[in-house]
Amino acid sequence: MKNILVIYTGGTIGMVKDTKSGALRPFDMKKIYEVLPILRKLDCNIDTFQFDPIIDSSDMNAKVWLSLAKKIKQEYDNYDGFVILHGTDTMSYTASCLSFLLENLNKPVIITGSQLPLGMIRTDGRDNIISSIEIASNNSVLIPEVCIFFGNKLFRGNRTTKLNAEYFEAFYSGNYPSLAKVGINISYKQHLISSCQNKSLKVYDNLCQDVVIVKVCPTIQESFLSAIINIPNLKGIVLETYGSGNAPTNDYFLCSIEKAIKKGITVMNVTQCKAGSVEMGHYEASCGLMNLGVISGKDITTEAALTKMMFVLGNYKDKKEQIEKLKENLRGEISI
Ligand code: ASP
């Protein structure tokens, strides 16, 4: 029998109705079998761990990501798989960050949550938890990746983005197909799932927090860029550009980016589009950025770009090596 650790960080999924007041409140993870007795029918042992405090995922931050990675490191030999219950708002950031922090992962780490609290009749949380645990404890298909399970689909976590605040199919992976679909059966797409590494797990314990996302928009002005570039200690900018990596071509914009790069700030170009890739040099509007040494994020999501920068700038000291790592496909986050 497989052993699965369910880690509860917070979010909508964990809300149940107080039997006396009827109000929604976070549930006690130790009572998971009381809340979901059907879990006893799964062919695995389930242990639980609850973060203290549990948080709305809007409060997610680098410290919690490092604690999550540390917890997985501590429990790695005791369990066959991990299921993390998490709010949906920043789930894609967490999945992306964990994928970078956990190198040579040979066990499934599946993050799930819900749009409706577990304590509500039509909750999607029930199915999401059950399927996530079933996938994490599968005896024939091993998924050695950090994934998100949501809306009957298993995704590579660092390829996802939250797309819908209303419907149960909340997550989208525009540049990489889902790894499995749940219907009457669970159909796995083996050729899309990473293969196991013949190396032991390496868990990193550093993240650089001095990184921002700057979204290019028609009102962008020199003074805005200048304020950002002058943020003390800023180390990295994820520049969300239009389409295939295009940005304003006027002098002030390019000069500002040049100033940033000269100050030692690493700049990565990612697209605002939910699918497709940055192709610097395709239009004149991206040639300038390319010539200044802006790194192409290719088809990376903004969530993965931010956390990749946090990871690379936090764990590699040499500038040349940082740039190489940012260009490299580290955990399946970009298509080569
Ligand atoms: N605000 C909640 C959170 O992200 C929403 C959710 O769980 O879906 O924690």
Tokens for 264, please give them.
């030692």
Q: Break the chain into its structural domains and give their ranges.
A: 2-203, 211-327
Q: Candidates 51, 89, 112, 116: which one to mutate for ligand 1, based on the most atoms within 8 Å of Cβ?
A: 89
Distance CA 297, CA 240 (A): 10
Per-residue confidence (pLDDT) for residue 94, from 0 to 100: 98
Residue 249 Cα to ligand 1 middle (Å): 38
Establish whether residue 124 lines the binding site of ligand 1, counting it when its CB lies within 6 angstroms of any ligand atom: no
| 2-203 and 211-327 have identical folds | yes
Domain 2-203 CATH class label: alpha beta
CB neighbourhood size of 212 (10 A): 15
Per-residue confidence (pLDDT) for residue 137, from 0 to 100: 97
Helical axes 302-315 vs 91-101, angle rounded to 10°: 40
pTM strictly above 0.95 = yes
Could you say which residues of the chain have pLDDT below 50?
A: none
Question: Catalytic site residue 12?
Answer: yes
Distance CA 13, CA 308 (A): 27
Establish whether residue 89 lines the binding site of ligand 1, counting it when its CB lies within 6 angstroms of any ligand atom: yes
Domain 211-327 of CATH type 1.10.220.110 = no
Distance CA 164, CA 168 (A): 8
CB neighbourhood size of 325 (10 A): 18
Establish whether residue 11 lines the binding site of ligand 1, counting it when its CB lies within 6 angstroms of any ligand atom: yes
- Please tell me which residue in 12, 161, 241, 302 is annotated as part of the active site: 12
Per-residue confidence (pLDDT) for residue 30, from 0 to 100: 85
CB neighbourhood size of 335 (10 A): 12
Per-residue confidence (pLDDT) for residue 46, from 0 to 100: 96
Per-residue confidence (pLDDT) for residue 149, from 0 to 100: 98
Per-residue confidence (pLDDT) for residue 10, from 0 to 100: 95
